[in-house]
Amino acid sequence: MAYRPTEKTLARKAELRHRLIEAALHHVSNGGFGALTIVAVASHAGIATGAVYKHFDSKADLCAEVFRIATEREVAIVRETALGLGTPGQRLQRTVQAFAERALRNPRLAFALIAEPVDPLIDEQRLRYRQAYADVFFELLQHGIDTGEFADQTARVSAAALVGVIAESMVGPLIWATADQPAQDGAALIAAIQAFCLRAVGAKASV
């Protein structure tokens, strides 16, 4: 008779996987994907190094899963903010603020998710989630176009451009935040990105 894992066994396996992911996220948050090693993650999670491979085929597989989980959290917050209450212009400004403030609070993790050179598996995830961000901005922009608050434009193209602008605008400040550089004026940075995005979509001056 084939072995069938019990509910207790499955729960134990899920709990160990969760511990490994949280341990991996801790290392990425403190040193980027370059700081994530199987030995370090296993030690942090309190399990044998070889046991990691019962849950993940390779380091690249673990990194991709950490990237997916961390990025999905950020996409969810962007979606909630961009498609929440307020005019399209107000929501665009709040979305930029929410994204940038979270990035500046955890610059090492944000840089790892946005721009750190990584394994092709993570690059593939990064492209997929950039599209997820663009889909959210598309809905926001289309609403603004339909109500006349934003200029008439190809919303799909503008949405992708906004994702690129916001992400690239943060790369330099995130690097400075993790190096021996003067602290970035977060409020001024956010205001500048907000102003650029509003101009880019042709928002009315009253926004």
Q: Residue-wise pLDDT tens for the chain (207 aa)?
A: 455 667 777 788 889 999 999 999 999 999 999 999 999 999 999 999 999 999 999 999 999 999 999 999 999 999 999 999 999 999 999 999 999 999 999 999 999 999 998 888 899 899 999 999 999 999 999 999 999 999 999 999 999 999 999 999 999 888 876 656 666 688 999 999 999 999 999 998 655
Residue 195 within a domain: yes
CB atoms within 10 A of CB 22: 14
Q: Per the structure block, which two tokens stand in for 153? A: 């434009």
Written in H, E and C, the secondary structure of 6-53 is CHHHHHHHHHHHHHHHHHHHHHHHHHCHHHCCHHHHHHHHCCCHHHHH
Cβ atoms of residues 80 and 138 within 8 Å: no
pLDDT given at position 119: 86
* Helix extents (H) in 57-185: 59-82, 88-105, 107-114, 120-146, 155-177
Residue 106 within a domain: yes
Cβ atoms of residues 110 and 184 within 8 Å: no
Residue 85 within a domain: yes
Residue 163 within a domain: yes
pLDDT given at position 186: 87
CB atoms within 10 A of CB 143: 17
pLDDT given at position 180: 62
CATH number, residue 176: 1.10.357.10
How many Å is the Cα radius of gyration of the chain?
A: 20
- Indicate yes or no: pTM above 0.85: yes
Give residue 170's domain range: 67-200
pLDDT given at position 11: 82
Nearest to 77 by CA among 51, 101, 108: 101
Residue 28 within a domain: no
Residue 57 within a domain: no
pLDDT given at position 178: 62
Nearest to 162 by CA among 126, 127, 135: 135
pLDDT given at position 179: 59
Amino acid at residue number 170: M
Q: What is the SS3 assignment for 86?
A: coil
Residue 160 within a domain: yes
Residue 61 within a domain: no
Domain count, the chain: 1
